[in-house]
Structure 1
Amino acid sequence: MKFSSCEVRVKSMVSPKKWLSILSVNSLMLFNVSFPVLMLPNTVNGGEVIAQTDPNAEAEKLYKQGHQLFKQGTAESKKQATEIWKKALQLYREADNKKWEALTLLSIGRVYDTLGEKQKALSFYDQSLPLWRQVEEKAGVATTLNNIGGVYNHLGEQQKALEYYNQSLLLRREMGNKTQEATTLNNIGKVYNDLGKPQKALEYYNQSLLLRRQVEDKAGIATTLNNIGLVYNDLGENQKALSYYQQALPILQQVGNKGGEATTLNNIGGVYNHLGENQKALEYYNKSLPLRRQVGDRAGVTNSLNNIAGVYSALGENQKALEYYQQALPLFQQVGDRGGEAIALSNIGLVYNDLGENQKALSYYQQALPILQQVGDRGGEAIALNNIGGVYDDLGEKQIALNYYQQALPLRRQVGDKGGEADTLNNIGAVYDDLGEKKTALNYYEIRRTS
């Protein structure tokens, strides 16, 4: 009983975080603006002219080959595209073709971005930006600023993200490029949602949606509809969230955006999960997972595996839950998602707790705790402390249990987790009751009742 509400809390903590981080990728559908070069070699950014001074035929041929591989959309084809573009990059540097050098750097950065390798993406974007400025190409500057903003948002540096997005927005408005202005407005909306400012997020998303409808940008419309759905999901308005996701899904399928389709299927699954419709949730999560594997979205794959595990755990199918969590854990570690790694460790601990394997549960909770402290997830830290206390409680080590519960309590108050605070107060009361300190136990039960 002491663990049941904690288990739900750990799992409910997982899905929204992952949906948002994944959407930072979906909302970065930007550098397809460079690819009309394959049909019109002297243009980029939907008609913005980039003159090809002294073009290197071999570099251009390699660039086109890389683009064809990128368009295939698989993880392997994207990696092959990068290797080919790196060869083109060297040739453009030898030819002193700075515009195409900038374009190729940006394209390579975009691949690393979609593969979840954010630091590598940032390295290539940072090389691209001064070159665009040097050749006075505003469209390239604006796109690169926008993409850098996306990386910083993914890394949790929201103020830096806003700084880059706002620079990009000014340039895009100056150029009158409504499609790209809408993209940056969408991305700013996402930052505000990540900062816990849903109304501000909706304001920017709605500005973006209006512009995207004006220019008939179907893929962009779908992305913003999906993101509005996320805001309503965070506000607990499940039916509104579902309505927006269901508007987005057929558009993404129509335009062939498999990554966006996978995310939206995942998000619909999440709504059904919150509504307690586990089989429906499982159906949508299982549709999302193979698409994410297909497009090489490693962060998305880990999210889907984790969510599927959560449903199986809710259904009492602990071995299946364990199987999926244990698939997710090494992937979180591979993509460097420390917060996700901690959540997976916590959830594996919960399954072992349900199976009555207390020492194994304790081992996983104790691995999760320092990571949660390191990434500053106070809510997750409180849950881990409470769960460790619960294991010691079950093992009859009441004083150790009490110590952990009392560490969890102020953190739960700090993050405003009223339900979690009530659980921990109840657990402390139960320990004092077991220790025969009835008056102290009653005090904690009374605080729980009135809080």
Structure 2
Amino acid sequence: MKRIISSVLALSVCLTPLSVPLMVQPSWAQSQNSQVEKLKQLIEQAQQQERQGQPRQAIETWQEILAIARQFKQRRGEAIALNYIGLNYDSISQPQEALKYYNQALPITREVGERRGEASTLNNIGRVYDSIGQPQEALKYYNQALPIRREVGDRAGEATTLSNIGAVYDSISQPQEALKYYNQALPIRREVGDRRGEASTLSNIGLAYNSISQPQEALKYYNQALPITRSVGDRAQEAIILNNIGRVYDNISQPQEALKYYNQALPILQQVGDRRGEATTLNNIGLVYDNISKPQEALKYYNQALPILQQVGDRRGEATTLNNIGAVYNSISQPQEALKYYNQALPILQQVGDRRREAGTLNNIGLAYNSISQPQEALKYFNQALPIWRSVGDRKMEATTLSNIDAVNNRSQPPSRTNILQTPK
């Protein structure tokens, strides 16, 4: 008897740094001293807002810089401002807005011959496509950025793009290919003295080993990354790596050890004011409790995560948590309640263009309908999920969905839920 396997979208943190963006050198319109001084102040203000986690305010400030650059027909400055606006929209999960600004910046960087800026913008566009579940499109842009970074001798940028390419391959279940790129990035990080980047790449290598069921190898790399982040005083990265270690222990059925690391990460994230990371960790803790058959405890943590994600505007994280809540209700034989949450998640995922998670949600809805003896409705959703898995190149989930369709057609009994879909890095 074939069984139906549902998908739970487990929100988890992985370090994949942004490209080093263009730095503004405000030499525009030297005769306009007051404007130059104003630009310096605005640039400092925007960068301070970014450091303080105020991306919306930073967008407004960069818009002022953009207007001045356009007023004085300073095309380099215009491209820089557009790129920063895109970065900030990306940070608040507005990928289409980010793309809009990056795609304005890109032809300007080419027009003025700013090769570093061109590579930076190509990298940022690739990052957006990766974040919305379009890995092939992401690779297209990363692979344009990489030779430019090598051409101009931007070793730090080269390492970033190599790491980003690795992350894409990891997200499409090609961890060996991912390792190939991470292992090119790592010595460059060390060469340029980028300790944060080194820790990031070590963490990504750990993630790849975890995905190919080599948990001890994964822990080896995470445990190299952790003291580096502590030595540079990067509390946010420390929490991310603690989260990743927790995830390994969760995957190898050591839930109490997983909770130990998640519970170390949580207060750090609260201390540094990383609300999105806090919600991620709450979600991860909820997932552990869900996996050890403590559904009410799981709901307690998921329901703490959900309003935070809504508050910070993380639409993908919100949809993931709605999915997780729905999965808990399905596991405790409340499929109608589960459908309520799945049906809130689905339009969000369609709105943000996250095809992978959309397919996971369609699969979950199909499972819920099957459990209430509506096989035709179940088939409708499985058959919507199937072409999406094919389009994103996820062969494992394609096979799972085919198995689900076969199980419904053969009137198999629905089994208990199995966790098979992980959040893209």
Range into which the TM-score falls when normalised by the shorter chain: 0.7 to 0.9
| Cα distance, 1:421 vs structure 2 | 6.0
**Alignment deviations for residues 427-448 of structure 1 (CA, whole Å, 9 cap, x no partner):** 94559xxxxxxxxxxxxxxxxx
2:119 corresponds, among 119, 135, 142, to 142
Q: Which letter maps to 1:115?
A: I
Change (3 A) 1:298 1:119: farther
Give runs of aligned pairs for residues 110-149 of structure 1, distance below 5 A.
110-149=87-126
**Alignment deviations for residues 174-209 of structure 1 (CA, whole Å, 9 cap, x no partner):** 112212111111111112222322222111111111
**Alignment deviations for residues 236-268 of structure 1 (CA, whole Å, 9 cap, x no partner):** 211111221221222223334444333222211
SS at match of 1:416: helix
| Cα distance, 1:150 vs structure 2 | 0.9
Q: How many residues align?
A: 395
1:325 corresponds, among 302, 326, 329, to 302
Rg bigger for which structure?
A: 1
**Alignment deviations for residues 117-170 of structure 1 (CA, whole Å, 9 cap, x no partner):** 322322222232233223222211111111111111112222222222122111
| Cα distance, 1:28 vs structure 2 | 1.0
Q: Distance in 2 between matches of 1:173 and 1:408?
A: 46
Q: Distance in 1 between matches of 2:204 and 2:378?
A: 37
* 1:159 matched to 2:136: yes
**Number of the residue aligned with 1:103:** 80
Identity of aligned residues (%): 43
Q: Which has the higher contact order (CA 8 A, sep 6+)?
A: 2
**Number of the residue aligned with 2:189:** 212
Q: Which letter maps to 1:65?
A: Q
Would you say the 8 A contact 1:365–1:388 is kept in 2? no
**Number of the residue aligned with 2:39:** 59
**Number of the residue aligned with 2:10:** 14
Q: Which deviates further from its counterpart, 367-376 or 273-282?
A: 367-376
* 1:74 matched to 2:91: no
Change (3 A) 1:93 1:414: closer
Q: Which letter maps to 2:42?
A: L
Q: Distance in 2 between matches of 1:84 and 1:361?
A: 43
Would you say the 8 A contact 2:89–2:95 is kept in 1? yes
**Number of the residue aligned with 1:284:** 261
Computed over aligned residues only, the root mean square deviation of the Cα atoms, in angstroms, reads 3.8
Give runs of aligned pairs for residues 308-347 of structure 1, distance below 5 A.
308-329=285-306, 341=318, 343-347=320-324
* 1:416 matched to 2:399: yes
Provide TM-score, normalisation by structure 1: 0.74
* 1:243 matched to 2:220: yes
**Number of the residue aligned with 2:230:** 253
Provide TM-score, normalisation by structure 2: 0.78
Q: Distance in 2 between matches of 1:169 and 1:406?
A: 43
Q: Distance in 1 between matches of 2:396 and 2:374?
A: 19
Q: Which letter maps to 1:271?
A: V
Gaps of 5+ in 2: 387-394, 415-425
Would you say the 8 A contact 1:59–1:92 is kept in 2? no
Would you say the 8 A contact 1:116–1:298 is kept in 2? no
Q: Distance in 1 between matches of 2:318 and 2:88?
A: 24
Gaps of 5+ in 1: 43-50, 393-399, 432-451
SS at match of 2:10: helix
